[in-house]
Structure 1
């Protein structure tokens, strides 16, 4: 019914909609159009029978370039499923373009966005169901591969000020696969940690640790979903990382040296301090922080080159080159690169 209505650029009102009866009329019924249809279900034959039909619409809409009341988000969600399945990050403007191409209507941004969310949920499941499945998923993973490391932290649920008994929600989770743990034994003694924000319905951060093999390939070794890049969250992540994955001494820990990471390193009881580990700056963050502070893109490459020098004695010459430009940049870079 919706497809016919959209194709003909007409509209209808539903007067009766029951499990066994459906009765609808044109929105302009009695004003130039007599279209109506009434159908009923024959239970014993499991089929619908048309009981009354007044023929085709004799009305037309003034324009077909705008939105249509029957082109709802559910209809659009079903129409764009192949696109969303192929690319879950499909842009909303691409949804609008697809609707325009397929139905010859222009829907607003909100309807297109809502349709995409519904399509994602139909294909991949909803946010609630996905989070509820996490414990089952990790349990199955541990059952299949007992060497997998998974560590949960939960927190109580409150309804107003009252504690809800027997219900706890996810707070943090750390996990690492056995192959990741095993392959790190053959990687360089270097790990880099970073986090990225989660932008779904439930906010938080995904923390990741990577290392590097002898061929300079990036190897992911540990993961965590936490409430944010707080000191407690990084302490939870780094503690589990040291206990289960990075168990050898002399490892270089590379980060952006964010305050919460520094605080977590200080709380590690020496696990991430010399000589068991050495906390180092990430060159990429040095580059971006220097550029943000001094607005000197022509010195950007020089700062990166200084950061990549292997021997401290060779740094002096590069600092001298920067000092020739201005002592402000030189002193700023020296503080950043040497701590």
Structure 2
């Protein structure tokens, strides 16, 4: 990828490899890797100055996490800007990702960073030496995760909507009215909310750095798109990412390249737009997609590689057989999984399974009597 597109950013962190007690000189254990494509780096210059980050677990032979950062263009399209594969959502892993993101992609100041309230992300932001702190950047929280944390703390679902509405308040007056309603229902609720700076969750105090984004839904959408790739080996995963990002949904016809005048046809709708890059006039925002992806071509045509060979971390290998056990703690955000009632396939009633059905016990007794 670096040979095909030298402007791409790829940063590895490795560990020494040992065979018994002997150090192997020509092999390194892959620890972390960060990458961003040049078209993504260039696209962010023309996107809204807001970044959403999130992590998702890998399903494959080895454990690990895929960290993703996305932004949004002027037409509200999602623009992935950076990726990383790390050992897990640790403070060091998030520091590695955010440091590279700040150094190579999000280089301008006055950027809003939206994430969940994961302690590792907060620790990484504090370790950034001001790179992700005011006035260079403004770290804010997803209101859905604050709502989830509130419900987990107080078990008060009747107050969920009020907490969300406090965050969505667009004026200080609206905020104070809704905050007062929460205080009237219990001072413990507002004391808990006061531990979070209001500029990190309330729209009325964000100074515009949220650009109206209250959740991390943009990056969640990308995670769902990449779900099928999360069980692949790293090389196949990176190649799939490159192919997905390079697939275009627009067709460009050049009228006057010297004066940078183009006709853009959006697919599959077929709508046509005129774009004048030099005159800063366009029917839609397309400067974001001006840079082109270059194909990775066939691996047999790649140049010879003479550097140390990378191997997976053996301590991250999955050893259990059978279907992986879900270790995620579910909350009210997993509405589909939590609200689906257990229904017996024998009697059709809810609240139990076939193995615990009373009719099943009676049927077995009749069968034994015969």
Q: TM-score range by the shorter chain?
A: 0.5 to 0.7
TM-score (norm 1): 0.55
TM-superposed CA distance for 1:309, in Å, is 2.2
| C-alpha distance after superposition, 1:36-68 (max 9, x if no partner) | xxxxxxxxxxxxxxxxxxxxxxxxxxxxxxxxx
Task: Indicate which of 163, 187, 204 corresponds to 2:64.
Answer: 204
Task: Indicate which of 6, 9, 14 corresponds to 1:154.
Answer: 14
SS in 2 for 1:300: helix
Q: 1:258 to 1:247 in 2, by over 3 A?
A: same
Cα distance in 2 between the residues matched to 1:312 and 1:229: 35
Counterpart for residue 9 of structure 1: none
Residues 9-20 of structure 1 correspond to what in structure 2 (within 5 A)? none
Q: 1:215 to 1:331 in 2, by over 3 A?
A: farther
Q: 1:266 to 1:336 in 2, by over 3 A?
A: closer
Residues 215-230 of structure 1 correspond to what in structure 2 (within 5 A)? 215-230=75-90
Cα distance in 2 between the residues matched to 1:286 and 1:155: 37
Q: 1:240 to 1:278 in 2, by over 3 A?
A: same
Q: Which runs of 4+ in 1 moved over 4 A?
A: none
TM-superposed CA distance for 1:277, in Å, is 0.5
* CA-atom RMSD in angstroms: 1.8
The question of whether the paired residues in 2 share the 8 Å contact of 1:193 and 1:207 is answered with yes
Q: Does 1:333 align with 2:226?
A: no
Q: Does 1:195 align with 2:90?
A: no
Task: Indicate which of 182, 203, 222 corresponds to 1:322.
Answer: 182
TM-superposed CA distance for 1:188, in Å, is 1.4
SS in 2 for 1:171: strand
TM-superposed CA distance for 1:274, in Å, is 0.7
TM-superposed CA distance for 1:278, in Å, is 0.9
The question of whether the paired residues in 2 share the 8 Å contact of 1:253 and 1:280 is answered with yes
Counterpart for residue 132 of structure 2: 272
TM-superposed CA distance for 1:152, in Å, is 1.2
The question of whether the paired residues in 1 share the 8 Å contact of 2:7 and 2:37 is answered with yes
Q: Does 1:310 align with 2:158?
A: no
Counterpart for residue 233 of structure 1: 93
SS in 2 for 1:192: strand
Task: Indicate which of 161, 169, 173 corresponds to 2:33.
Answer: 173
TM-superposed CA distance for 1:312, in Å, is 4.0
TM-superposed CA distance for 1:313, in Å, is 4.7
Cα distance in 1 between the residues matched to 2:91 and 2:105: 20
How many residue pairs get aligned? The number is 199
TM-score (norm 2): 0.51
Q: Unaligned 5+ residue runs, structure 1?
A: 1-140
Q: Does 1:285 align with 2:145?
A: yes
SS in 1 for 2:148: helix
TM-superposed CA distance for 1:314, in Å, is 3.3
The question of whether the paired residues in 2 share the 8 Å contact of 1:187 and 1:213 is answered with yes
Cα distance in 1 between the residues matched to 2:117 and 2:194: 16
Residues 14-29 of structure 1 correspond to what in structure 2 (within 5 A)? none
Cα distance in 2 between the residues matched to 1:142 and 1:196: 25
| C-alpha distance after superposition, 1:173-225 (max 9, x if no partner) | 10111121112112211111111111322111110111122233322111000
Residues 28-43 of structure 1 correspond to what in structure 2 (within 5 A)? none
Q: Does 1:263 align with 2:123?
A: yes
Cα distance in 1 between the residues matched to 2:90 and 2:138: 21
Counterpart for residue 297 of structure 1: 157
Larger radius of gyration: 1
